[in-house]
Structure 1
Amino acid sequence: MSFVQDCVSISRQHLMAGYLAEAEMSCRTALQAEPEHSDATHLLGVIALRSNRAAEANELFSKAIELDGARAEFHNSRGVLFYGCRRFEEARGEFAKAVLLDEQDPVSHNNLGNALRALGRLAEAEPCFRRAVALRPGYAEAHNNLGNTLRELGNLSEAEFCFRHSLALRPKNLDASYNLAALLLYTDRLDEAGRLFANVLAGDPSRAEAAIGLAQVFQGQGRIEDAVALLTGVHNRMPDNAAVLFALQLLRSTQVPAWHIPMINDHERNDAYEAALLNAVEPGDVVLEIGTGSALVAMMAARAGAGHVFTCEMHKPLVDVARETVALNGYDKRVTVIGKKSTDLVMGQDMPEKADVFVSELINVGMLAPDMLTILQHARQNLLKPGAKIIPAAATVWCSLIQADELRLTSPIRTISGFDMSRFDQFRTPGYSTIDLAADPHRMLSEPEKAWFFDFYKNMADSEAKILNVTASETGIAHGVAFWFDLHMDEKVTYHSKSAARTNHWKQAVYFFNHDLHVVKGQPVMIGTGYDRTQIHFYI
């Protein structure tokens, strides 16, 4: 063996051992002795590529091919370089040349398949991978790549076989483990998918995609808190990973109702609560809030001068974030977030004394939320001092006959695009719907009528019903009743839910009749209305 060949052989040994500097030194020594040596030139290109010097590697591969263009290995290496630079068409060309030069090389077939798959040419990629595994049945990577291609082509059963075969050949093949786990997740085999994702993370904690997959498994198993904890830990380790952050935010968005976000941005609502608190709170007062949500109103109470604010919330994700928010704003010494229902509060344990001021926001778009009156009554009887101030103090509900042609199509669901879609109506939320009177097309067919008045200082019946006599102010088709409320925070401050502001998160409500009612201007109309523990309703 010549001196140059000895140097090349030593360089290969160093390269296989991972000693790039030593490998490069031996290779350059060979080229000093024989500058036109194709093997040494190619090998130096491989070393440059491993050292992340792509431009230099490309020059060396090109030179090696000029010296000996019949070597499949040289074209393969330049193809790998192009593939790594996402120059997939050029990579395909190099791998195709390598296959032509050495039809029996499974690596060239596998690489050509990868390039074709990257170009979206799956039907052409499949036979390349099949040829690779036919030439080398123990080629675990090619089995895995074939599985990926088959999965993308929709052949899930054979794709699963390929992934499992790849793992049988190389049990620690993290790529095949991840791919099989992803397929099992897609086909709802959560337990095995979870074990495989966990194995991938154990083998390589930086595999963020496996963490996201495992979190999805947890979510499918109803283990939302475990999923959030997992992705929170990964995000703390990889704060710049956009995929992890997106998955975490998407997961967190499922933990609380979506209306919390627009609610805290409802400036009219916020201003009304703060104005009422400034009117009510005396220095040193004990304030009780029910339903802390974001803790915004609780902090307003503290800022208004309360000695201490106790605020309860039964939803754990909100409890955790509310506590963090209170601490972030420097109120953690004066605001206590209690993770309980208000009806479970124990005086002397959760609160040292009863409250001087009581504030709540249990209201929804239809004003009366489920069990709201019962919750308020319990608070008055058990958690408040005699003469305690209550915010809001009262509410007036207004209503009007309405024609809403477009929204009527959704309640009830009947004919759509010429098809009878009535069977789908069983999935519609019962009761009233939300309407934006400032934006949704409609016609008011009567003047606003006072439907209900609720005094939150007093006990009220769990249910009640009555008849409203209204007069049609316009001729049209009454599809139902639109209703909204004035929230009387105190004697001076009132919030109007009919506000046309875009930040009004409540909007208004519409209760559709079972049957349309044709009305003529000046016609008297009798409307039945009632409320129970869940909602206000209207009927004809």
Structure 2
Amino acid sequence: MNEIKSPALTNSKVPGWHFTMMRDSARNSAIEAAIASCNVIGKTIVEIGTGAGLPAMLFARYGARKVLSCEMDERIAAAAREIIRANELKDCIEVIAKSSRQAILDGDLPLAPDIIFTETLDAGVVGEGYEAIAEDIRRIASHNTVVLPNRIQQFGFLCTDVDAFERNSVFKQCGFDLSGFNVFAERSYFLVSQLQNDPVCLSATVLFRDYDYLNPNALDPVEHQVIAYSSGVCHGMTSYFDVYFGKFLVTSRDRKSHWHAAFHPLREPMQVQSGRRYLLRGDKTGLIDLVSL
């Protein structure tokens, strides 16, 4: 393996979600089916986010001429190179130990590749660098470039979720007011386990945001009018997403998915009334607010 040069990377752990992601058979099957349906024979592929190298090797399996895959974590890049070598695919896969932005600036990536693939999504879609990666994709894509995934739809509903809200705040403990520490609370969103969390729905589910890597306006602020269909204390919004690799769907709404749901907290819990209309607003970071109409 390549020598690790970055002390910051050496002293930090590789996040454990990589393992649950790689064991997600529904996700793996959808990605393979999408790649198999693309007729990749003889084509040039750019991948952003190598991981262990599975998508890159699938592109090679189905006949890609060249796969250039960016991985900014040097340790993961080194491991992926070894995995690719062990699977006898190193001749058509090149792992570039850089961010896609740096690889573009250094001239390592071709303009107008046939396919660009990325799966850099967290529970709230944007937390793994969506904005920068979308900009990079638009820099090198041509009108003929196929981008996978081609569409991501994020859905959300207002909810009562005391457990999730309290995970992100503190008030009185041992008779002392600790609420001043809430300046450090997460304001956009954080992960919640679908197996352990059971939010109470207060509204219908809305299509909160449509994402398209080729659309420069995909992260513009959004507004939705929602009607509370039951009264209660709203702590925020629970969201999940559907990601389309061509016609093949992977969803984080499935409790068996390796992806968690996302909880977007309101700054302060808000009492909502059944039948009343509210304006739900969101910004590009996933931060929301709610206003009574």
> Residues 405 and 369 (structure 1 numbering): CA distance in 2 closer, same or farther, change over 3 Å?
closer
> Residues 435 and 417 (structure 1 numbering): CA distance in 2 closer, same or farther, change over 3 Å?
farther
1:456 matched to 2:222? The reply is no
TM-superposed deviation, 1:349 = 5.8
TM-superposed deviation, 1:366 = 0.6
The equivalent residue for 1:475 is: 231
- The range that moved more, 473-482 or 267-276, is 267-276
- Which residue type is aligned with residue 422 of structure 1? S
TM-superposed deviation, 1:469 = 0.7
* Superimposed CA distance per residue, residues 3-38 of structure 1 (whole angstroms, 9 cap, x where no aligned partner): xxxxxxxxxxxxxxxxxxxxxxxxxxxxxxxxxxxx
* SS of residue paired to 1:536: coil
Of residues 303, 306, 316, the one that matches 2:74 is: 316
* SS of residue paired to 1:498: coil
TM-superposed deviation, 1:401 = 0.3
The equivalent residue for 1:522 is: 275
1:445 matched to 2:202? The reply is yes
The equivalent residue for 2:62 is: 304
Of residues 471, 485, 508, the one that matches 2:261 is: 508
TM-superposed deviation, 1:457 = 3.1
Residue pair 2:41, 2:64 contacting (<8 A) in 1 also: yes
**Equivalent pairs, count:** 285
TM-superposed deviation, 1:529 = 1.6
Question: Which residues in structure 2 correspond to 1:161-180 (within 5 Å)?
Answer: none
* Superimposed CA distance per residue, residues 219-253 of structure 1 (whole angstroms, 9 cap, x where no aligned partner): xxx9467xx7xxxxxxxxxxxxxxxxxxxxxx6xx
- Which residue type is aligned with residue 519 of structure 1? V
Give TM-score, length-normalised by structure 2: 0.87
The equivalent residue for 2:122 is: 364
Question: Which residues in structure 2 correspond to 1:197-212 (within 5 Å)?
Answer: none
Of residues 242, 245, 251, the one that matches 1:496 is: 251
> Structure 2: how far apart are the matches of 1:426 and 1:329?
49
TM-superposed deviation, 1:445 = 0.9
Residue pair 1:362, 1:372 contacting (<8 A) in 2 also: yes
> Structure 2: how far apart are the matches of 1:348 and 1:422?
47
Residue pair 1:402, 1:445 contacting (<8 A) in 2 also: yes
Residue pair 1:403, 1:478 contacting (<8 A) in 2 also: yes
Q: Sequence identity of aligned pairs in percent?
A: 25
**Structure 2: segments with no counterpart, 5+ residues:** 1-5
- Which residue type is aligned with residue 302 of structure 1? A
- Which residue type is aligned with residue 470 of structure 1? V
The answer to which structure has the higher strand fraction is 2
- Which residue type is aligned with residue 255 of structure 2? A
* SS of residue paired to 1:336: strand
Residue pair 2:155, 2:207 contacting (<8 A) in 1 also: yes
* Superimposed CA distance per residue, residues 496-534 of structure 1 (whole angstroms, 9 cap, x where no aligned partner): 111111xx2221111111121112322222212221xxx
TM-superposed deviation, 1:307 = 1.7
TM-superposed deviation, 1:458 = 2.8
> Structure 1: how far apart are the matches of 2:75 and 2:106?
26
Of residues 431, 440, 449, the one that matches 2:188 is: 431
Who wins on radius of gyration, i.e. which is larger? 1
1:399 matched to 2:156? The reply is yes
TM-superposed deviation, 1:415 = 2.6
> Residues 516 and 337 (structure 1 numbering): CA distance in 2 closer, same or farther, change over 3 Å?
same
1:410 matched to 2:167? The reply is yes
> Residues 348 and 465 (structure 1 numbering): CA distance in 2 closer, same or farther, change over 3 Å?
closer
> Structure 2: how far apart are the matches of 1:410 and 1:437?
15
Give TM-score, length-normalised by structure 1: 0.49
TM-superposed deviation, 1:398 = 0.7
The answer to which structure has the higher helix fraction is 1
> Structure 2: how far apart are the matches of 1:263 and 1:441?
23
Residue pair 1:281, 1:301 contacting (<8 A) in 2 also: no
- Which residue type is aligned with residue 493 of structure 1? F
> Residues 525 and 322 (structure 1 numbering): CA distance in 2 closer, same or farther, change over 3 Å?
same
Residue pair 1:286, 1:354 contacting (<8 A) in 2 also: no
The equivalent residue for 1:539 is: 289
> What RMSD over aligned residues (CA atoms) do the two structures have, in Å?
2.4
Residue pair 1:466, 1:529 contacting (<8 A) in 2 also: yes
Question: Which residues in structure 2 correspond to 1:270-349 (within 5 Å)?
Answer: 270-345=28-103
> Structure 1: how far apart are the matches of 2:279 and 2:142?
43
> Structure 1: how far apart are the matches of 2:187 and 2:105?
38
The equivalent residue for 2:137 is: 379
> Structure 2: how far apart are the matches of 1:417 and 1:265?
43
TM-superposed deviation, 1:318 = 1.0
TM-superposed deviation, 1:537 = 1.8
